[in-house]
Structures are given as structure tokens and as C-alpha cells.
Structure 1
Amino acid sequence: MLVWRLIRSVPGWLFPLAAGLLVLLLPEFGLGFALSRQVQLACILALVVSGLNLSLGYAGELALGQAAMYAAGAYTAGLMSIAGYTDIVLQLIASGLVALAVGIVTGIPGLRLGSWSLAMTSFFLVLLVPDIIAVFGDATGGRNGLSGIEPATLFGEVIDADRFYVVVVLVAILWFAVMRNLVVSRHGIAFRTLKQSPVLASSVGISVFRMKLLGYAIGAFPAGLAGALFANIDMYVSPEAFGFTFATAVLAACILGGATSVYGAVIGAAIMQLGPNQSSEFQQYALVFYGGFLIVGGVLLSGGLAKVAKQVTARLDRKAGLTGRGAPVRGTDTARPATAPMSGQTLVVDGISKAFGGNQALDDTSLRAEPGSVTALIGPNGSGKTTMLNMICGFYRPDSGRILIGNKEVQGMAPEHVARVGVARTFQTPNIPDGVTVLEAVASGRYSTDRVSMLPTVLRLPRYRTVRARDLAEAERALETVGLAHLRDETATSLPLGMRRLLEVARSMVAEPRLLLLDEVASGLDEDEVERLADLIRRLGRAGCTIVLVEHNFRLVLALADTIVVLAQGRVIAAGLPSEIEHDPRVLSEYLGVVAEDTELAGEAT
């Protein structure tokens, strides 16, 4: 276990880098021509698979268009070479950009239509590749393929076979370094958040359409790079190389290696290329093999080999004592850090109505919440509480009425824009993306607070480092506030329900909200956890935050709320101080189910 502890003390990214450098130096150890070609083809396939990993594994968008992007890159490089532009760097840039453009152009209609449209659009795009090539046969060579490609050059010198091997492996190493930087950044967490739930993504200020398109388009870029490299291996490009069989092979490699893994693409591509793809007999039954593998692999190997590796690593970590630092001490009086001042804004819900078909969810309903106070919204199931929260957040548009946060009307705004105004929320069921740590899950709440683009992120420029430092500092402070700091490195989804609810509150806090919406946040918590939660809500209120609390725990509502608004059948039936609401006969009847015959309570209410 000492050896394992030493291994785990080394930064994880050094191991794939060392493996990449070893592959780069293989020719120095007498790598033969045939094996050298297979390694290059494996690297090229890994580039294509990595694009699918990004769009499917991280962004959650099933799309098989990488084969078409691969073809676009290959024909771009081939046509450039025939036209006299043989510089490999220029070809790589142009091929990557053309593939990116194809991804954007084909992704927009598929994503606009929603549901499975992107999968179907990309599927038909792959089927159309041979026909598109045939239509432009005068330039592409049609179904006979594109020949006459000149050897690639670098700085005016022809690249021989040995140096081209170095180019292929270097391009793969550099791309996977870029992809790794992207995946572990706030953008990578945003992709995971989107995959988990578009509603959750919108609630933290992520544009669902833009992020989906970004994942699909960026996934097209490495396919374009792969196409440029492929065109220069044999100096010939055939349309048969980009058909449905290849698209299925890419999907099979993705599933085998692990879709939610940066380096799973390398593992899956290497196994496919160095294994079955070398057999000429296999090609006759490739589709049958891939189809069977996808069925069996999808059932028996969920998560791919990368998930198996993670499970083995976690088991060794436990044996070495590197995890399981224990649950928090419950019921202690450990002092929490002071909550930083918060700039709450007045919420005004003025006469909003909302109907779903013949069901009137809200009918001329109004509510007002002030900074520094807790406004509770209570009522029986189906009274319209969550519908009101969803309209405040922008998920529903009111049929009539206004919603103001401060002086800004937000009704009709997209959810991500409402979030950027300063609205944060929790959910009835804790909504946390898979595969992220507690610290990362909390830091994801700052996605729209400090903005940093993709380029500084992948290149690790000072702007990225500054924003990341702020993200981590604010997330750690929020975790200290809710009492989860000692669990910062644990997998967020592994926490019990009570801790996940506190994690959601912490994620909302880091967004510097002007308005905090808490939806059934105490549901399922035990007595100690409810006490911790109540203390946290009080401190947030004293810090100046505007809080709207939807809650069924009437005792908790009476203890926390400054004002209580009671809904029944979509209308406000009472509003006032807790002492008034506690004895209101209609509230007792509608909300608590106290019948009119209960004379003792009826007498107390008069």
C-alpha cells in the first residue's frame, strides 16, 4: 500500500503524458512499418472517438456525425494538397475549422427540433456522405475516391514516413491535453450539469441550446484533425472509409473505452484498431460484430473500461486509507464562519395566472418578499407552490401578471437569463451531476457569475487561473458555512440525502444570489439536519438575502418565516405573520386538515 500511496501522490495527468511520450518514441525501439501504421490509425481513430465522448459522454447528446466531420476534414486536406497547399499545419487548421463549421451547421437544426432530432440528423448526415461526395465528383473524385494528394510538408520540407508518425502522435497528445483541460474545468462541469438535467443547467445560468451546440461542435473539431491526418497516410481518400460501418465502430470504441472518460477514447480506439480491425475477414461481418458488441457492452460493461479502472482505483484507495475520512460529527456546536453580506432584492409577484389546459394552476396570485427576510410559501399539494417558483425562475411563462426582481421585470425571460439576474434555487429532489466532487458541484453554481471563455480555459491563461481560484475559494467558504468542508473531495452523488440538500444550498450561495428559492429543502431530513438547515437559513436571511421558502414542515415554517403566504387551489387564501397564520381557521382547514368540528382549535382561531 505504500507503493500505491506514492503512485497516488503523483499528479494524475503525468501518467497519460508519459504513455503518450512512450508511444512517440516507439520508432526508436525498432517499430516496424506495419505496426507503425496501426498505431497511427489508432491515434486517428482515438481523435474521432474523443469527439463522440465529448458530445455524448459529457454533454449527453447522442450524435453519430463524427464520421461526416472526419470525411470533411479528409477531403479538405486532400483538396488543399492537390491545390498546392501541402503544409500539414495549414491543413490541420483548415480541416478542423471546416469540421467545426459542419458541426455548427448540422447541429443547429437538430438541436432546435429537440428530443432525438440531433441523433437522427447526424445519422442521416453520415448516410448522405457518399452521395454528397458523388455530387461534387469533379472535385472529389466521386465514388472512385480522391487521388493525386501530394506528400505533406512542414516549413517547406517533405515529411517522410518516420516524421509523419511523430506528427500524428503529437497531434493526438496535444488534442487530449486540450480535451483534458476542458473536461476538468468549469466548462466540463457545465457539460456534466447539462447531461444531468437541462433544468438544473438553466437554473445556474447555463444556456442549454448554446452549451449543447458547443459540445457537438467542439466534438467535431478532433474529427477534422483526424481526417487531415488520414488523408496524408496513403495519399488517397475513399468515400467508403466514412460510411455507417465506421460510424458504428466509433460508437463501439466509445462504449468500450468509456464515454465519460478523456482517455477512454484512446483505450477503446486502440483495442478496436489493434484487434478486430486488422482482420480482413472481420470487415465482412463488421456491422454484425459492432451491433452485438453494443448490445452486450451496453448491458455488461456500463461505463466502459474506464469505469472498471476507476472502481479498481477506488478499491485500492480504500485499502490504502486514502478515502473514507468519515461522516461529520452530528449534533455538535461547532461554530460556523460568519456569512458574508448578501445584496438581496425585493421580489414582487403581481397578479400572475397560469393554466395548463383546463387546469388553473395559479389564478391572480400575488406575493412580496423583502431582502433580509424569509417569506414562506405554503399550501396543500397541488396548490401551485412549485408552479410559482418555476415561473419566477423562467421555466414557465405566466398567462398574465408581472414578476419583478428589484426594478427588473423577469416574466418571459429565459431561465438562464433569470439566473444571471440573481435568482438561485434548490429542487424538491436534489439535482447533482454524476462524476463530480462536492467541491466541484458547489463551484458549478458560479458558472454565470464570473465568465471565462474556452480559449483561456484550454490554454490555462491567467484569466482562467484567476476565475478558478475564485470559484474554489467561494465554494470552500460555502462548504464551511453549511458544514460540509471535510467532504470536499468526495463524490457528490454518494452523499446521503440530507447532505445533498445542504450541498444544493451551498451551490446556490456561491452564485451570490439576490433571491434564493428553497423548494422542500427540509424534506427527508432528520431532526439534527433540520436544525442545521434552520440555522443556515436564519444566517442567510440576516446576511441580507431575499429568501422564499416552500416547505411542508409547518413547525419549521413557523420558526423561520417572517411572513407566510398560503396558497390553495392556485389562489392566496391568507398572508401575514406566523402568529396570525398559525391560528387562521381557513389555513388550518386547507393546509393542516383540521375540520370545523374541532371546536377547541376553532375557538382559539377567533
Structure 2
Amino acid sequence: MTARVRVPLLAVLGVLLLAGPFLGMSGYLARTVMLVGILSLLTSGLNIVLGYAGELAVNQVFLYAVGAYVAAYLGSAHGVTDVLAVLAVVIVAAVVIGLVTGIPGLRLGGWSLAMVAFFMVLILPSVVQVLEKYTGGPLGLSTPVPTIFGQELGERGIYVLIVAAVVVWFVIARNLIKSAHGNAFLVLRQSPILAESLGISVFRLKLVVYVIAAVPCAIGGALFAWLDGFIAPDTFTFAMALSVLAASMFGGATSIYGALVGALLLQVGQQQLTAFSELELVIYGVFLLAAALVFRNGLTGLFRTLVAQARRRGWLPAAPSAATSAVRTAAPARSGGLEPIEGRTLSCRGIGKRFGGNQALDDVSIEAVPGRITALIGPNGSGKTTLLNLMCGFYTPTAGSIALGETVISGLKPFKVARAGVARTFQTPMVARGMTTRDFVAAGRYTERKVSMAASVLRLPSYRRGKRADEADALALLELVGIGQVAETEVSELPLGTRRLAEVARALAARPRLFLFDEVASGLDPADLENLERAIIAIRDAGGTVVLVEHNFPLVLKVSDTIHVLSRGELIASGTPDEIQRNTRVLEEYTGSATAVTDLELAATDSEGGH
């Protein structure tokens, strides 16, 4: 189902739900709709932090309790019942609690973070007891009827309030996820290293994710407090935390509307199984196991898979973008086509790097200048990738310094090095799952041409201009490297060689001063290799500074202007391709013989003749 069909359909559904009580909806059904909506808010918060950002911060029930108690306390203790005023305070509380509870996520990860989050849920009764003056302790707290502009909301008013809040939140979530910020979340989920190489501060982005995901949970708590008019600690249980997790897994953690599907399934299931409430934890355990084994991407993921299979078999018409891609033929890479690049000189002076007792690099000094291709070669374990990691900030040298132009970049955090103008590819391509190739390439521009979250959510003109520019640039760069036909294909599904070319396009999108290519030719077929050569030469001709770490010696001899050779962490030779292939020490390292000149010469000759 395309967005042009899905969005109007959901809008109509939202209007019908809002009008439900006025169209004869029963009280039981109305309450079910409200409870599904509230649970979907919690599930949506979990989907953002876990499904999209990959953080196991499963403390949604704690945040839910915060929202409920804030709303109840403001109403019962201070007489503040205005919906807008209370929700404003609840959102502020969510932001504060989201920041504070997000701190463990900056140090922890995986199941360690999940255990901390679950612990927060388990200690809720104790927290409520300690704050009995404000929470009512085990006896609970009554919540006055909410008002809008001084008018009390009746049953219908509360229903409309809850459904409207859910609709507004899912519009916000949809617009945010379907933007460059949502793609940044997917990059973070894939790898913090990839995120930092794009100039993204992992520290800041994690905090942003925690805060955004906290807001719907706290709002859901306030809505629940108004719905029942009373809250107590036994509402916010570990079983409820498991129900949110189960709803996310069943609906689809990486689906915007999967939260609604999962919440509907879980809420209706709870109501039908009230006789088995004592087996609640067992039932949720079975649900989670089934979701993990059968519905790995949730029901929405299963639906997408079935639709894709139906399209492949011709049972359904192809999606417009897929149809366009299918009929296109692979375009050769354009020669040139790059705007001038303001390259900067890379200077590595006396670089040393020690890992415990292992001296990985020892007094290495090299220079790479704009408009030239500088290659680093050497046997496995010679220190090439270590030096590359030092250049982009993932390691800090134990001796020496690295400068880009006049700026010393050694010792800077990786995202700051990236923002200084350094882009790289990886020995094993790092691409984000759940993104089209075009979006992945456009992610390289995230920190350079950033559109605010507010503009993205509200779909302001600045968002639309930025999106059009990013997509046009990404498509042009994919054409440059000869893979424009895969623009709408999910990047993680591409063959290895094509993923490498997509990484090159992503690096180009950042418009850096310095390009670091790590084994980028590995796994490429002859056609892709030719496209790669053209792209690297285009970068050089545009004025970029290129450092190429590569085992493909014929490619190195063909495109490089200067070659540096490393062996056992030491720089053993530097020179032109002609000088290097005749250097006796280099020959000994590669062939074991100082007289085996013909091996390297023939490799270079074969490469030139083959192109």
C-alpha cells in the first residue's frame, strides 16, 4: 500500500474513530478504543527507542507512571485540571526524566541497559511509597475530571481527547521517522561507529531519542489517569512492561503503525483472557517467544513480505519506484560530474600507536595533498587500517600528531573529525538496514544540511527543499558510481560490491576535504571496478584529497600518484608507482624475493591491458 493510499485511509479511520461515540458506539467498545490508544502510545515510544534507534531502554512503564502521577497530583493537590496546562507540565517532566533515565544508555548497551530499565519498573512501588505525600502511597490517588477552557470533559470529551492525542502523536512520529532524523536513528541502530563517521554525535543523538520516546509514554499516563479517575501502584507492573514489549514485537518494532496493530492485539487479548490473569507473565512469555520465532519483523513486517512476494509473482502491480528501477539499465559512471572540492593536506608526523605490549605503528610520517591519490599498501597486519582509524579519530595516537590543513585532528572525537571534513568507507561495508540506497547516501549530508526536527514534523518549506535537494544529490552520486538503478532498493540487500559503491557515494555526499577508502575494491567485478576507478579519479580531479588503503595492487599502481608501504608498523618505502614496483624491500615483503620484479610488473601490465 503506497503512502498516497495509506495516509488518506488512516485519516478517514481517525475521523471515524473520533466520531464513534456520536455514531452510537457502545461504552465497552469506546473504552477498548481508548485503552488501545493509550497502549499504542507506550508501544510507539518503545518502537522509537528500540526499533529505530536500537537502544534497549525498556522503561516505558516508569515514564507512564510519571505522567499519570503528575496529572493526578496537579489536579488533586493544586486544582490544575486544564488539559493543555497539565500536558505541558507532563511533557516537561517527560523530557527531564527522559534525560536522567537516559544517562545509563550513554555508558551501557544491550541487555545491561535493559536490566537497568526493568529495574526502574520493579522499584516503582518503593518510589511511590517514599513519595507518599505526593502519590498517595499504596492507597492511590484520585484524579479530578479534566477541563478545557474551564469546561469539564464528560465521557465523550475524554474519549475525543484520547483519540485526538493518539492521532496527533502518530502524525508527529510518522513525519519524524520519515525524515533525515529517522534515518539518523536507523544509522545509530546499525552502528555507533557508522553514526560517528557521518559526523553524528552519538551522545547527543541517544539523549534526543530517549527524550522523544519518553513523551508519548508520559502523555499516555496522563490520559489513563483522566480515563479512570484514579491511579495506584498496582497499575504499573512488570507484567505491563512485558505487554508493551510484546505489542512492539507483534506489531513490528520498525513500523510506525505497528504500534497500533500490536496494541490492538494485546489489549483485545487481555480482555478476552481475564480469567487467566494469574498466568499473565506466562502468557506474555509465550507471546514474546512466538514473536521472536514466527514474527521476527512483526505482523506489519509479515504483511510487507507477503506484498513483496505477491508483486514479484505478478499477483499485484509493482510499486511505482520499484517499477521504475526494474526497467532501468545499469548506467555507466559519469566521468567527472563533481563540483570543485576544497581538499586539505593531511599531515601525519611521527605517528606511533601501541595496544598494550603490541607496537602497531612506530614513527610513521606521511602526507597526502589535494588533487592527488595517496595509497597505503602493505601485508596484512602491517598497520594500514590502524593508521586509517587514527586519521578519522577512532584511535588516539600514543605518539605524534595528525593535522588536516591547519587543524590538528588527532585526539578529537570521531564525529568532530568527520565534521572537520574527513569521510571514510569501511573494510566491511557498514550500511543501515531499513533504508533505501538513496536515503543511505543522503545520510552522508545529515550534519551538513540539517533540517530541524520541528521543520520535519510540521513539513515546513525548509524540510521540503532539503528533502528534494538531498534526494537529487544522492541520485546524482549513485549515477556517478554507476549504480543509479538501485536507488530505491534497500541498501542492506545489495550485493557486496554494490554496497561498497554505495559507501563511496555516501562518502561523497558529505562533501569532505579528505576521503579515506579502506579496501574499497574488494569484491568488485570488472564493471564495478571500472566505475570505482572513475569515481576516485573524479574526486582527485575535483581537488579532493584521497587516501586509498588497498590490496588490489594493479589498481593502486594505476590510479595512485604516491604510494606509502607499511610493514610491521613501520614505513619502509614511499614513492611513485614506478619507484615502488622496483623497490627491492617492497618486493621482498610481497614476494619473498628481491629479484621477482616481473610479478609486480606483470600485474600492473595485466591491469592496464584489462581496462
Taking structure 1 as the reference length, the TM-score comes to: 0.95
Secondary structure class of the residue paired with 1:433: coil
Q: After superposition, what is the alpha-carbon deviation per residue over 1:339-371, rounded to whole angstroms, capped at 9, x for unaligned?
A: 211111100011111111111111111110000
1:140 to 135, 146, 167: 135
Contact (CA 8 Å) 2:425, 2:507: kept in 1 or not? yes
Q: How does 1:306-455 map to 2 (within 5 A)?
A: 306-318=300-312, 319=314, 320-322=317-319, 323=322, 325-326=325-326, 329=329, 335-336=334-335, 338-455=337-454
Deviation at 1:321, TM superposition (A): 3.5
Q: How does 1:213-252 map to 2 (within 5 A)?
A: 213-252=207-246
| AA matched with 2:147 | T
Q: How does 1:154-233 map to 2 (within 5 A)?
A: 154-233=148-227
Cα separation, partners in 2 of 1:110 and 1:481, compared to 1, 3 Å:
closer
Secondary structure class of the residue paired with 1:371: coil
CA distance in structure 1 between the aligned counterparts of 2:598 and 2:44, rounded to whole angstroms: 70
CA distance in structure 2 between the aligned counterparts of 1:599 and 1:439, rounded to whole angstroms: 44
Q: How does 1:577-592 map to 2 (within 5 A)?
A: 577-590=576-589, 592=590
1:108 to 78, 103, 111: 103
1:21 is aligned to 2:15 = yes
What is the aligned length?
595
Cα separation, partners in 2 of 1:587 and 1:461, compared to 1, 3 Å:
same
CA distance in structure 2 between the aligned counterparts of 1:313 and 1:466, rounded to whole angstroms: 32
User: What's the counterpart of residue 25 of structure 2?
Assistant: 31
In structure 1, list runs of 5 or more residues that go unmatched.
1-6
| AA matched with 2:558 | A
Deviation at 1:8, TM superposition (A): 3.9
Q: After superposition, what is the alpha-carbon deviation per residue over 1:34-85, rounded to whole angstroms, capped at 9, x for unaligned?
A: 1111110110000011000000000001122100000000000011111111
User: What's the counterpart of residue 607 of structure 2?
Assistant: none
| AA matched with 1:93 | A
Contact (CA 8 Å) 1:106, 1:121: kept in 2 or not? no
CA distance in structure 2 between the aligned counterparts of 1:309 and 1:504, rounded to whole angstroms: 30
Deviation at 1:476, TM superposition (A): 2.0
| AA matched with 1:593 | T
CA distance in structure 1 between the aligned counterparts of 2:599 and 2:515, rounded to whole angstroms: 34
Deviation at 1:128, TM superposition (A): 1.1
CA distance in structure 2 between the aligned counterparts of 1:445 and 1:161, rounded to whole angstroms: 50
Q: Mean alpha-carbon deviation: is it higher for 265-274 or for 29-38?
A: 29-38
Contact (CA 8 Å) 2:60, 2:214: kept in 1 or not? yes
User: What's the counterpart of residue 591 of structure 2?
Assistant: 593
Contact (CA 8 Å) 2:332, 2:531: kept in 1 or not? no
Contact (CA 8 Å) 1:204, 1:419: kept in 2 or not? yes
Deviation at 1:462, TM superposition (A): 3.1
User: What's the counterpart of residue 271 of structure 1?
Assistant: 265
| AA matched with 2:48 | L
Cα separation, partners in 2 of 1:18 and 1:315, compared to 1, 3 Å:
farther
User: What's the counterpart of residue 565 of structure 1?
Assistant: 564
Q: After superposition, what is the alpha-carbon deviation per residue over 1:252-289, rounded to whole angstroms, capped at 9, x for unaligned?
A: 10111010111000000011112224432232111111
Secondary structure class of the residue paired with 1:366: strand
Deviation at 1:593, TM superposition (A): 1.9
Contact (CA 8 Å) 2:335, 2:535: kept in 1 or not? no
Q: Mean alpha-carbon deviation: is it higher for 107-116 or for 281-290?
A: 107-116
| AA matched with 1:576 | G
CA distance in structure 2 between the aligned counterparts of 1:363 and 1:334, rounded to whole angstroms: 39
User: What's the counterpart of residue 298 of structure 1?
Assistant: 292
1:124 is aligned to 2:119 = yes
| AA matched with 2:374 | T
Deviation at 1:246, TM superposition (A): 0.7
Contact (CA 8 Å) 1:551, 1:557: kept in 2 or not? yes
Deviation at 1:145, TM superposition (A): 0.8
Q: How does 1:54-93 map to 2 (within 5 A)?
A: 54-82=48-76, 83-93=78-88
User: What's the counterpart of residue 501 of structure 2?
Assistant: 502
Contact (CA 8 Å) 2:587, 2:596: kept in 1 or not? no
Secondary structure class of the residue paired with 1:404: strand
Contact (CA 8 Å) 2:581, 2:600: kept in 1 or not? no
1:256 to 250, 255, 258: 250
Q: Mean alpha-carbon deviation: is it higher for 15-24 or for 258-267?
A: 15-24
| AA matched with 1:223 | C
CA distance in structure 2 between the aligned counterparts of 1:414 and 1:176, rounded to whole angstroms: 35
User: What's the counterpart of residue 479 of structure 2?
Assistant: 480
| AA matched with 1:125 | M
Deviation at 1:422, TM superposition (A): 0.6
Contact (CA 8 Å) 1:336, 1:483: kept in 2 or not? no
CA distance in structure 1 between the aligned counterparts of 2:128 and 2:474, rounded to whole angstroms: 51
Q: After superposition, what is the alpha-carbon deviation per residue over 1:451-470, rounded to whole angstroms, capped at 9, x for unaligned?
A: 33322221222332333233
Contact (CA 8 Å) 1:277, 1:283: kept in 2 or not? no
CA distance in structure 2 between the aligned counterparts of 1:108 and 1:463, rounded to whole angstroms: 32
Q: After superposition, what is the alpha-carbon deviation per residue over 1:287-311, rounded to whole angstroms, capped at 9, x for unaligned?
A: 1111121122112210110101111
Q: After superposition, what is the alpha-carbon deviation per residue over 1:370-419, rounded to whole angstroms, capped at 9, x for unaligned?
A: 00110000000000111111111100000011100010001110100000
The percentage of counterpart residues that share the same residue type is: 46
Contact (CA 8 Å) 1:362, 1:571: kept in 2 or not? yes
In structure 2, list runs of 5 or more residues that go unmatched.
603-611
Cα separation, partners in 2 of 1:570 and 1:277, compared to 1, 3 Å:
farther
Cα separation, partners in 2 of 1:182 and 1:478, compared to 1, 3 Å:
same
Deviation at 1:599, TM superposition (A): 8.5
Deviation at 1:329, TM superposition (A): 4.6
Deviation at 1:113, TM superposition (A): 4.3
Deviation at 1:484, TM superposition (A): 2.2
Contact (CA 8 Å) 2:334, 2:479: kept in 1 or not? no
Deviation at 1:103, TM superposition (A): 1.4
Cα separation, partners in 2 of 1:601 and 1:58, compared to 1, 3 Å:
closer
Taking structure 2 as the reference length, the TM-score comes to: 0.94
Q: After superposition, what is the alpha-carbon deviation per residue over 1:503-533, rounded to whole angstroms, capped at 9, x for unaligned?
A: 1111010101100000000001111211111
CA distance in structure 2 between the aligned counterparts of 1:243 and 1:311, rounded to whole angstroms: 35
Cα separation, partners in 2 of 1:276 and 1:206, compared to 1, 3 Å:
same
Contact (CA 8 Å) 2:62, 2:236: kept in 1 or not? yes
User: What's the counterpart of residue 4 of structure 1?
Assistant: none
Deviation at 1:209, TM superposition (A): 1.8
CA distance in structure 1 between the aligned counterparts of 2:595 and 2:512, rounded to whole angstroms: 45
CA distance in structure 2 between the aligned counterparts of 1:333 and 1:263, rounded to whole angstroms: 39
Contact (CA 8 Å) 1:97, 1:224: kept in 2 or not? no
CA distance in structure 2 between the aligned counterparts of 1:598 and 1:521, rounded to whole angstroms: 27
Contact (CA 8 Å) 1:502, 1:533: kept in 2 or not? yes
